[in-house]
Structure 1
Amino acid sequence: MKYLNEYRDASVVKKLLSELGSIVTKPWMLMEVCGGQTHSLVKNGVLNMLPDKITMVHGPGCPVCVTPVSMIDQAVALSKRNDVLLCSFGDMVRVPGSSKSLMQARSEGGHLQIVYSPLDAVKLAADNPQKEVVFFAVGFETTAPANALAVLQAAKLGLSNFSILVSHVLVPPAMEAILDDRFNTIHGFLGAGHVCSVMGMQEYHPLAAKYKVPIVITGFEPVDLLQGILMAVRQLEAGNATLENQYARVVRETGNLEAQAVIQEVFEVADREWRGIGIIPQSGYKVREKYRQYDAEQKYTEGIAPSLPHADVGCIAGEILRGIKKPAQCPHFRKTCTPLNPLGAPMVSTEGACAAYYHFSQAYESAVSPI
């Protein structure tokens, strides 16, 4: 792929590591917010290259991992209805609910269709007017524009048999919740570059100022991540706490204004539950009243349980997502919890920290407690 090799250049990596080693004088703990960044750090061995004084911990930026049990249960209940075809991305189908996953529900006769775009679900609704089609709309700000467009497209086509089951969450409120946590030991953040490519950087300036922590918006390749870590450590060593943008080739201060307008048209900010963490005020989206007919939670008030907090049994996902523990510290890791038999979402998702540590054993062998 053009313009990719330079972000995996070993000579550049060595130079960044050398500079990092020469400036760090104190122990620093940094959190990469995004699960994609976690996988890149683990897969490429970056964690094992860092100076001993720098510890990376893994944040709640995996959309599959933070989708609460209650929403999985609602999706499972909808899939069991004979009049409903539930559509979902493939990464959601093995996530455990309180009793079963969507995949298990389908094996028992549930109606589940894996799609590659929410617009695929809109097309299914248009082609099958006798069937109610529900799309499981999960994710951070990055997937919100496409899901909002699906609603607008359904409205344009005049479809009455399409709706979305919304479990959208937002990054800045989650970062604030982590910083307010009494167990917090984070000195700085690597921000999620793809989220900021949509939403811009404005929401992060107040966080850096209020909590006096450096935040560096960072990409996903090894050079991106090392440069982001270096920028954060430079600030920490100098006693600074500002917002910086390592991912300037993609991220702009204002973000994508057209995408933001689409989001604002369809969604409004609301309280949301995060798996393993609980309810974070004003940390997600819900469908606006104007488009209520496309809100599955409003449309199917009977037959699905209300979205109430529900804990995973035996899973420490909440502690992992808050950066308090690492996957290898879970007593079930690699034993009763594996990708084929997951106790919680972080072992299922391709962005989950547990899955990253499971598949890339060197990082697993060297995992240590962040506190």
Structure 2
Amino acid sequence: MKDKKILTRIKDLRDSIGKQVKLMEVCGTHTVAIFKQGIRDVIPKEISLLSGPGCPVCVTAIKDVDVAISIARMNGNILCTFGDMMRVPGSKQSFFQAQAEGANIRIVYSPMDALKLALNNKDTKIIFFATGFETTSPSIAGTLYEAEKAGAENFYIYSTHKLVPPALKALLDSGEVRIDGLILPGHVCTIAGCAPYEFLASDYGVPSVITGFEGEDILRGIMMLLEQIAAKKPSTEIQYVRAVTKEGNKKALSILNEYFEPCDANWRGIGVIPQ
């Protein structure tokens, strides 16, 4: 019944706006959720949902995959990574293909598994290939803290972490896509909060809503975006209030800032995005 009321409100708002509305879901997790839950089938056809930059694995640069494979082929090195990186292609091979030819690449379920491997194999260099947006990067920082405390001098991080706000700025600066509103990733914002995204409204006049991943979350996020568009009052709102605060996770941000600093990043399919 809640969903029906939200859908009625969405239709009424779209009718009041009176034109095609283009919304972009920034994160690949939302793209999958929208597809699985049939969101496009229940909203008015005059509302387009565009897929944004995607997931951090998908945008990992070809060069980074190539370099990591070269590292894994060196004697005395073990490259560790998450399983979802194994099939991502480099210029010639994926990690799976390189592993089949003898490159020392191992799948781990957390960076702490890689650290444990380093502590048990002190004569071997253990390199953890770290991908992720703000959601997962604090756990890597926490692992570096533990490695430092344990004196694991053979433990290394190959960081391909990405920040979401610079990618959105680059997208809006390009002028290639007309976007009426942005569905922002709820899990990223549990760490980062909403402050890093407030420039979307203040500098570009683009409404945005930090949204959860259930069907009702996404529909409410769309409704809130349409309300901003109809009122011509862009802002950065939080739909996912059960997990996201304006300030984000201060402890996670503190350890992240202690071990990492922003830099320009190479995004597959986009190019180098300045930080």
TM-score by length of 1: 0.72
SS in 1 for 2:200: helix
Supply the AA of the counterpart residue of 1:183. E
- Residue 115 of structure 2: aligned partner: 122
Give the C-alpha shift of residue 182 in structure 1.
2.5
Letter in 1 for 2:10: L
Give, in angstroms, the shift of residue 181 of structure 1.
1.2
| Percentage identity across paired residues of the two chains | 46
| 5+ long unaligned stretches in structure 1 | 1-10, 283-371
What's the CA shift string for 1:318-358, capped at 9, x where partnerless? Answer: xxxxxxxxxxxxxxxxxxxxxxxxxxxxxxxxxxxxxxxxx
Partner of 2:207: 214
Alpha-carbon distance in 1 for matches of 2:218, 2:70:
41
Q: Secondary structure at the match of 2:157?
A: strand
SS at the partner of 1:276?
A: coil
Counterparts of 1:66-215 in structure 2, within 5 Å, are 66-215=59-208
- Name the SS for the 1:86 alignment partner: strand
| Partner deviation per Cα, 1:82-140 (whole Å, 9 max, x = no partner) | 21111000000000000000000000011111111101100000011121100001010
C-alpha displacement at 1:14, in angstroms? 2.1
The aligned residue for residue 56 of structure 1 is 49
- Greater RCO, CA 8 A, separation 6+: 1
Q: Which residue, out of 244, 247, 265, partners 1:251?
A: 244
> Are residue 14 (structure 1) and residue 21 (structure 2) matched?
no
CA shift, 1:206, in A, is: 2.0
Structure 2: where are the runs of 5+ without partners?
A: none
Aligned Cα root-mean-square deviation (Å):
0.9
**Partners of 1:178 and 1:99 in 2: how far apart?**
29
Asked whether the 8 Å contact 1:190–1:218 carries over to 2, the reply is yes
For 1:315, the equivalent position in structure 2 comes to none
Q: CA deviation at 1:207?
A: 2.0
- Once the two structures are TM-superposed, the CA of residue 59 in structure 1 deviates from its matched residue by 0.7
The residue type paired with residue 7 of structure 2 is: L
Match of residue 307 from structure 1: none
- Structure-2-length-normalised TM-score: 0.97
Quick check: 1:61–1:171 contact (8 Å CA) kept in 2?
no
Question: What secondary structure sits across from 1:255 in the alignment?
Answer: coil
Query: Structure 1: which 4+ aligned runs deviate by more than 6 Å?
Result: none
CA contact (8 A) 1:201 1:255 kept: yes
Structure 2 distance, partners of 1:187, 1:54, is 10
The alignment of Structure 1 onto Structure 2 pairs a total of residues equal to 272
Classify the secondary structure of the residue corresponding to 1:110.
Answer: coil
Conserved in 1, the CA contact under 8 Å of 2:200 and 2:207?
Answer: no
